[in-house]
Amino acid sequence: MKEHARQARAENRIIGLVPTMGALHRGHLALVHRAKQQCSPVIASLFVNPKQFGPKEDFAKYPRNFESDVEKFSAAGIDSLFAPDPDEMYPPVFHTYVTVEALSDRLEGRSRPGHFRGVTTVVMKLLQIVQPHFAYFGRKDAQQARIIMQMVRDLNLDSEIVVCPIIREADGLALSSRNAYLAADERRAATVLHRALTAAREELSAGVRDTLQLRTVLQRVLNSEPLAAMDYAEIVDADTFEPVARVARPCYVLLAVFFGKTRLIDNLYIEPAGPGAHEDFVYHL
């Protein structure tokens, strides 16, 4: 893989990387499509990273559909697939980890201790191996994307991180490989995530800026679904991921909710509208 990447750079080609853990859905393929608009070659990685799973998490049962994933990547038009074995990425004497402090300690980091250390370590390795000019991530994992951008900036890496929109089902559920875990009744219940975010967006559009009021709306909608068990519902600054009292700058509305044993996340991104716009903010679901 490294030799392939060196050759592409020697030919002044623009390398794009789409990192995945497989179990592909339309969200992953949308990242490939975006990469193909900017890059050639487009390289996808497929690696279920053991370092980002906690001891009680779902590493062993995480969906693995290698042959199907290869077919989907091929149909999407990638140029190369990098699918290393765990022993190749983490040999027995592996002792080095990358940690982005502060940003990694809250929200997902609080709920999943050690998760982001595993994410940043594997992404660093992928960026070093593939040497992409651009690497593509989905906005559904908003905190992850922000942490990776911080790592790239702090360590003066040559790759640019491109964060792409959330891809959703017709009923609003954000696409996720973990959706496959949901039983039929849980799948129906999971649409409450989108309903809660939509309710928050409607409040914001009506002029509500107080985040206590917005969190009350989120909690009311989530509590209306008996199968939903909320982990957190927060409104945070989009740069620091610290809670804010009022929406006055770019922010995220972040949700993490259990449906049975399956934990799903989703978000609404709020950014100031451009000059001449009729609204103060634009809301991205």
8 Å CB contact between 200 and 218: yes
* pLDDT recorded at residue 228: 98
* pLDDT recorded at residue 260: 97
- What letters, b where the CB count within 10 A reaches 16 and e where it falls short, cover 46-70? bbbbebbbeeeeeeeebbeeeeebb
- Chain mean pLDDT for the chain: 97
Q: pLDDT for 222-256, tens place per residue?
A: 999 999 999 999 999 999 999 999 999 999 999 99
d(CA 32, CA 260): 32
The number of CA neighbours under 13 Å toward the Cβ of 187 is 13
Residue 273 identity (one-letter amino acid): A
| C-alpha pair distances (Å), 243 with each of 2, 101, 181 | 41, 17, 31
8 Å CB contact between 44 and 32: yes
Is a pLDDT exceeding 80 seen at residue 148?
Answer: yes
- In the chain, % of residues over pLDDT 90: 96
Measured from the Cβ of residue 177, the count of other Cβ atoms closer than 10 Å reads 19
* pLDDT recorded at residue 275: 81
pTM for this entry? 0.96
What is the edge-to-edge ordering of all strands in the sheet holding 228-237? 228-237, 251-259, 262-272, 281-284
Domains and CATH numbers, the chain: 2-164 (3.40.50.620), 177-284 (3.30.1300.10)
Q: pLDDT for 8-57, tens place per residue?
A: 999 999 999 999 999 999 999 999 999 999 999 999 999 999 999 998 89
With cut-offs at 50, 70 and 90, classify the pLDDT of residue 279. confident
The residue whose two tokens read 């980002």 is 52
Mean pLDDT confidence for 95-114: 96
135-144, 203-212, 264-273, 275-284, range with the lowest pLDDT: 275-284
8 Å CB contact between 165 and 34: no
Active-site annotation, residues: 28
Cis peptide before 165 (omega within 30 of 0): no
Burial of 42 (0-12, 13-18, 19+ CB in 10 A): buried
8 Å CB contact between 99 and 155: no
Is a pLDDT exceeding 80 seen at residue 277?
Answer: no
* pLDDT recorded at residue 171: 98
Q: Which long-range contacts (CB under 8 A, 24 or more apart) does 2-5 make?
A: 2/129, 2/130, 2/131, 4/43, 4/80, 5/43, 5/129, 5/130, 5/131, 5/132
* pLDDT recorded at residue 56: 84
